[in-house]
Amino acid sequence: MNLALRDVRRHLARFVGTAAGLGLLLSVVVAMQGIYAGMVDDATILTRAMHADLWLVQRDTRGPFAEGSRLDPSVEARAAAVPGVRTARPYTYQLIQREHRGAVMRIALVGLGWPDDPGRSLPLVRGRRLQQPHGEMIVDASLGLGIGEPLVLAGEQYRVVGLTRNALTSGGDSVAFMTVGDAELVAFDQPPEAALLERQRVVERLRRTDLGRGQPALEDLATDPRWRAPALASPPVAAVLVEADPHRIAEVRGVMRSWGDVSVYSQAEEEELLLVGVVQRARMQIGLFTVILTLTAAVIIMMVMYNLTLEKTHDLAVLKLMGAPRLRLLGLVLQQAWLLGAMGYAVAFAMGELAFPMFPRRVLITETISLVAPVATMGIVTLASILGLTHVMRIDPSIALEG
């Protein structure tokens, strides 16, 4: 006769209630672990999605994610000319916040080097890659935009042609991908008033120089919106992504490191920069919180198990007096603990399936969490039974004889 199941059957509602409470507690623990994993994954997903062997960024910076990086666009051509380089493409990155359909939308805008990179390495879940140099974008599904939906940025209409899943920044912002050209248009967009004022400033600067005074026709050019002074540089890019022959990566890197205007990072180093620089504190905070929460859960489970055992003291004393083998009584407590753990985990799992997708930050249940969480739960409930088991060992059967 299984005493543990008999006891559960008799106090089913209370047991199920306890398991549900435990499940909610475990779901919070799992959620914290998932948020922790999600934060780490979010932090590195952008770099991984780019599939670059080397990241060239502004010299002595840790850009483009950890800090701003401004790189002359000519670096792209220079990089492409290095023996061993297969492709070199520009990359821009900026955060924008716009209103769309009455809601505030934060977007991390990533510029892809058209036409070399129409988004071929992106994890598309719907739609297609970019097929035009202008007016198209691929966005993360978390933005809530649908395929074909237009989004107005910098006075231009951009149409969503593809959707990714879980393309997020370390801050949890959704990423949108467009060509570098479009991204620069958005980045350097100016309201008409600002453009007029800038032209005015150019004219005033010209008038203060010999060049301007000697060639008044330049003033007309400066006020023509279609004209761009040839001396002015193209807008900078945030980085140049290099794909190289796998056997020659070190050689390519050696060449580029000798350039005075760039710092070179491998894919792993770029990820490390993100983890150490950008999300380190948040990661540690959540990590510590997860540990504290896990310990709290263990203590609560221990007290629940102890109280469940304590309530049965008299019954257990009677069974002891009847000569119940010690293992049967210890088994009662352990089996109930395991059952409670299993039911609690099932509730936590169900909660996770239902609620985690609605969390504002991504909760990533990794394979490790999926495997470790049930094992850890059973380990915790087993350890938590120690107080209850000790109590069982200490019960004096003679108390059953006392009225």
Q: Does residue 3 belong to the site contacting other proteins (CB under 8 A)?
A: yes
Q: Which residues contact 259 (CB under 8 A, 6 or more apart)?
A: 75, 78
Pair 34, 40: CB distance under 8 Å: no
Quick one: 280 or 398, whose CB is closer to other proteins?
Answer: 398
Q: Which residues pair with 138 in a beta bridge?
A: 162, 177
Which residue in 13, 322, 327, 358 binds other proteins (CB under 8 A)? Answer: 322
* Interface with other proteins: number of residues (CB under 8 A): 26
Spatial distance between the Cα atoms of 57 and 183, rounded to a whole number of angstroms: 18
Quick one: 12 or 355, whose CB is closer to other proteins?
Answer: 12
Tracing tokens 């490390």 back to the chain, one arrives at 272
Spatial distance between the Cα atoms of 373 and 154, rounded to a whole number of angstroms: 47
Q: Does residue 403 belong to the site contacting other proteins (CB under 8 A)?
A: yes
Q: Does residue 6 belong to the site contacting other proteins (CB under 8 A)?
A: yes
Quick one: 169 or 336, whose CB is closer to other proteins?
Answer: 336
The one segment of 107-115, 192-200, 252-260, 394-402 that binds other proteins by CB under 8 A = 394-402
Q: Does residue 13 belong to the site contacting other proteins (CB under 8 A)?
A: no
Quick one: 231 or 322, whose CB is closer to other proteins?
Answer: 322
Q: Does residue 402 belong to the site contacting other proteins (CB under 8 A)?
A: yes
C-beta atoms surrounding 247 within 10 Å: 8
Helices (H), 92-241: 180-187, 192-208, 210-214, 217-222
H/E segment holding residue 95: strand 85-100
Q: Does residue 400 belong to the site contacting other proteins (CB under 8 A)?
A: yes
H/E segment holding residue 106: strand 103-112
Q: Does residue 85 belong to the site contacting other proteins (CB under 8 A)?
A: no
The one segment of 87-95, 246-254, 292-300, 322-330 that binds other proteins by CB under 8 A = 322-330
Which residue in 298, 324, 342, 386 binds other proteins (CB under 8 A)? Answer: 324
Which residue in 59, 314, 375, 390 binds other proteins (CB under 8 A)? Answer: 314
Pair 176, 140: CB distance under 8 Å: yes
Shortest separation between residue 21's beta carbon and other proteins, angstroms? 21
Q: Rg of the chain's alpha carbons, rounded to an integer? A: 31
Handedness of CA 46, 48, 49, 55 (dihedral sign): positive
The answer for 294, left when phi > 0, alpha when psi is -120 to 50, beta otherwise, is: alpha
The one segment of 115-123, 197-205, 249-257, 391-399 that binds other proteins by CB under 8 A = 391-399
**Residue type present at position 103:** A
Quick one: 269 or 315, whose CB is closer to other proteins?
Answer: 315
Which phi and psi (to 5°) does residue 44 adopt?
-110, -10
The one segment of 6-14, 81-89, 171-179, 183-191 that binds other proteins by CB under 8 A = 6-14
Handedness of CA 157, 158, 159, 165 (dihedral sign): negative
Spatial distance between the Cα atoms of 323 and 300, rounded to a whole number of angstroms: 32
The one segment of 26-34, 87-95, 218-226, 393-401 that binds other proteins by CB under 8 A = 393-401
Quick one: 10 or 394, whose CB is closer to other proteins?
Answer: 10
Q: Does residue 9 belong to the site contacting other proteins (CB under 8 A)?
A: yes
The one segment of 119-127, 222-230, 258-266, 324-332 that binds other proteins by CB under 8 A = 324-332
Which residue in 326, 354, 359, 375 binds other proteins (CB under 8 A)? Answer: 326
Shortest separation between residue 281's beta carbon and other proteins, angstroms? 51
Pair 306, 93: CB distance under 8 Å: no
Which stretches of the chain bind other proteins, using CB under 8 A? 1, 3, 6-7, 9-11, 312, 314-315, 318-326, 396-398, 400-403
